C-alpha cells in the first residue's frame, strides 16, 4: 500500500524538505501541498490523502484560538515548538501524532508507514 500524503506548512522550505525526505519511496507519495489552513481543507477534500502533515502554527487563528481541523483524515502535527502547550494544541486538534520539526528526518517515515499498517485493507 502506498500512503498518500498532503503536506501543509506555510514555509515553502519545510514543504520542499518533506518532499525531498519522502521522494523516491514506493510506499509513500506526496500528492499535494498547501500553504494555509483554507487551502489545506480544500485540497484534503479534493485529493483525499491518507494522512495530512500540518504545521501546528497554521492551525491558530489571529486571536490565538485553534480552528477546528475537521478534515476527516488522520493528521500529523509538526512544529518547532515542542513544549506542553504545543502538545496540548495538537491533542485538541485531534492529531494522531505530534512531531518536532527537528526530528522529521527520524520520525516522519516510520509514522507514515505505521498509518499504512493500521489502515491496510483486509
Structural domain harbouring 65: 3-118
DSSP codes, 42-102: HHHHHH--SEEEEEGGGGB-TTSPBPP---SS-EEEEES--SHHHHHHHHHHT-SEEEEGG
CATH number at residue 113: 3.40.50.2300
pLDDT for residue 62: 45
Enter the DSSP assignment of 119.
T
User: Which positions of the chain have pLDDT values less than 50?
Assistant: 62, 66, 122
Enter the DSSP assignment of 2.
P
pTM of the model: 0.88
Structural domain total, the chain: 1
CA–CA separation, 86 and 94 (whole Å): 13
Amino acid at each position: 500500500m502506498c500512503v498518500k500524503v498532503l503536506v501543509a506548512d506555510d514555509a515553502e522550505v519545510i514543504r520542499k524538505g518533506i518532499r525531498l525526505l519522502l521522494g523516491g519511496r514506493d510506499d509513500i507519495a506526496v500528492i499535494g501541498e498547501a500553504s494555509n489552513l483554507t487551502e489545506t481543507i480544500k485540497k484534503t477534500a479534493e485529493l483525499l490523502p491518507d494522512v495530512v502533515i500540518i504545521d501546528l502554527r497554521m492551525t491558530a487563528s489571529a486571536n490565538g484560538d485553534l480552528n477546528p481541523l475537521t478534515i476527516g483524515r488522520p493528521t500529523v502535527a509538526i512544529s518547532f515548538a515542542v513544549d506542553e502547550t504545543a502538545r496540548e494544541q495538537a491533542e485538541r486538534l485531534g492529531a494522531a501524532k505530534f512531531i518536532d520539526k527537528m526530528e522529521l528526518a527520524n520520525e516522519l517515515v516510520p509514522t507514515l508507514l505505521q498509518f499504512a499498517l493500521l489502515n491496510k485493507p483486509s
